[in-house]
Chains A and B, each alone.
Chain A
């Protein structure tokens, strides 16, 4: 949390580029944390930060918050717009509210936690790392997921995990409709404990049970005899 060493940046009247340069400079100077005020759903705040630093967003944020970052940790005291944590390499982002479309797109590592609901395409193209959603996930969440782990404590809309290659989706509620090429699998020893530990660490109430979903590999190779399945896959 904020302490005396925290740099405070007020976004009012500051261009986005200046805000990001201030954060980058703070990271270079070894400042442990930056508190960001008056975010007012501004886009691209805290983008391209490649050195460890802790970001505290006081309010709602816009698109691509904590995008293209490495080793950054962040707490967002509000809701986020599209693409929160885009392409994160390592670190942790916690959204206290809801996240709009495409939360944690293409992340290659680290962890993104959305305590509320996530919009459509949450965890799209997840390459590694963790996406945890405390509430529901929208349409086509986990689309073309390539690796990593997605936890959805609530329900998922249509197309969950459509065309996923690898990785796991842990679903607490119901899926309105499963995506193409997704199947239910048995949990390996310790996997469920790790899921529950993640939820506990973020004080997210765990659902009664989880189902583990993964790719059935039917879309890995094209087979003309399975044309119907391909036609169905988006």
Chain B
């Protein structure tokens, strides 16, 4: 199953708190994915920070990660969520070097995401755990898109939890409900091209595919359309970049998702009830059709 959903505000000034809405939407789709919950948050980032999220399957590894981050740059804010470390750091070097340095710390430690505008947070279980660790409800930026995971093909742990990113290439995160059935074939072909996979999750091939297509000259929107052609299986995924986000559905419309949009926000969820509980309104929703790609400019 899995559930995807979240909220985007068209203006930095908005009524309800973004994090509280995202909390309710993700709570409403908990039963679709009780294994883990994660969210991608968008930050204006006037201070020029780098947002780093690190998976830590090694008990007590958080201190080691924070120490390393402080060595590489200057840690401005950080939380050790016991399994996942979030940090905002001052860092001017190459993001690929940072990923390599953190990955080298321990076999159980791997970078989950780096971004100048996007920050990824993940935790086991429902959104209550995510909020307890990282205070999701206090977030009041413009975008929070997340996933409740029902693990099928890879381990239930922080590394394989979503959102997933293409790591060193900052500011692209996806959440995916479904199963990519030609994953092994695609992964092998991207690995041959030199792309590094850091999880065993089939969904990881989506950000890699988007990055690859865009590096071949495709626009973000073109890359999304290409993904509908190239990915086999059933999927509804949300992709978020530094200035856009998109909802993509497979050619069979096998996974549910509804969208609501008004003058102030765009909200989406796998479940209409969760969406309406999220925005606290009986707003009208619509369901995108088979093979459709919808892109919103932030």
User: A residues engaging B (CB < 8 A)?
Assistant: 40-43, 59-60, 62, 78-79, 81-82, 97-98, 100-101, 119-121, 138-140, 157-158
Separation of A82 and B252 alpha carbons in the complex (Å): 15
Complex CA gap A81/B253 in Å reads 14
Contact status A41-B273, CB under 8 Å = yes
Name the contact of B289 in the complex, choosing from A42, A59, A78, A119 (C-beta under 8 A). Answer: A119
A40→B290 contact, CB < 8 A: no
- Bound Cα distance from A81 to B256, whole angstroms: 9
Further contacts, 12 of them, CB under 8 A, given A40-B277, A60-B284: A40-B273, A41-B272, A41-B282, A79-B272, A79-B285, A82-B256, A100-B256, A101-B287, A139-B252, A139-B291, A157-B290, A158-B290
In the bound complex, CA of A158 to CA of B287 (Å):
16
Interface of A is mostly: loop
Residues on the B chain within 8 Å of A60, using CB? 272, 276, 282, 284-285
A79 touches which of B271, B284, B290 (Cβ 8 Å): B284
**8 interchain pairs (CB within 8 A)?**
A42-B273, A60-B272, A62-B272, A79-B285, A81-B256, A97-B284, A98-B287, A157-B290
Query: Which of the listed residues B284, B285, B287, B289 has the most CB atoms from chain A within 10 Å of its own CB?
Result: B287
- Is A138 touching B272 in the complex (CB atoms < 8 A)? no
Given the interface pairs A40-B277, A139-B253, A139-B290, the reply to whether A100 lies near B284 with Cβ below 8 Å is no
Identity of the chain B residue whose Cβ is nearest the Cβ of A159 in the assembled complex:
B290
CA distance A100 to B271 in the complex (A): 11
Pairwise interchain contact A100-B273, C-beta atoms closer than 8 A: no
The residue on B at minimum CB distance from A99 is B287
Is B258 positioned at the interface, with any CB of A under 8 Å from its CB?
yes
Q: Which of B253-298 contact A (CB under 8 A)?
A: 253, 256, 258, 271-273, 275-277, 282, 284-287, 289-291
A79 CA / B276 CA spacing, docked (Å): 13
**Chain A residues, CB < 8 A from B291:** 139
Contact partner, B287, options A42, A59, A100, Cβ 8 Å: A100
Tell me the smallest distance from the CB of A146 to a CB of chain B, in Å.
21
Q: Interface size on B (CB < 8 Å)?
A: 19
Evaluate whether A62 and B273 lie within 8 angstroms (CB atoms) in the complex, with A82-B256, A119-B253 already known: yes
Inter-subunit contact B290/A138 (CB<8 Å): yes
Beta-carbon contact of B289 and A100 below 8 Å: no
Q: A82-B256, A120-B253 given as contacts; is B286 within 8 A of A98 (CB)?
A: yes
Q: B282 contacts A40, CB within 8 Å?
A: yes
A98 vs B287: C-alpha distance when bound (angstroms)? 9
Chain B proximity of A102: nearest CB distance (Å): 10
Q: Which of B258, B273, B277, B284 has the largest number of chain A CB atoms within 10 A? A: B273
Residues of chain A within 8 A of B253, CB atoms compared? 101, 119-121, 138-139
Task: Return the 7 tightest CB-CB contacts between A and B, nearest first.
Answer: A139-B290, A120-B253, A41-B272, A41-B273, A100-B287, A119-B287, A62-B273
Q: Specify the chain B residue showing the minimal Cβ separation from A43.
A: B273
Cα distance, A60 to B273, chains bound together (Å): 9
Q: Nearest A residue to B272 by beta-carbon distance?
A: A41
Which among B251, B252, B272 is the interface contact of A81 at CB below 8 angstroms? B272
Q: Considering the chains assembled together, what is the distance between the CA atoms of A8 and B248 in angstroms?
A: 40
**A101, B272: Cβ atoms closer than 8 Å:** no
Complex Cα spacing A138 to B282, Å: 24
Closest Cβ of chain A to B275, distance in Å, is 8
How distant is the Cα of A158 from the Cα of B271 in the complex, in angstroms? Answer: 24
- Given the complex of chains A and B, what is the CA–CA distance between A62 and B285 in angstroms? 11
* Complex: chain B residue closest to A82, CB-CB: B256
Q: Please, how many angstroms separate the alpha-carbon atoms of A138 and B284 in the complex?
A: 18
A166 to B287, CA, bound (A): 29
Q: A40–B276 contact, CB under 8 A?
A: yes
Instruction: Give complex CA distance A100, B251 in Å.
Output: 16
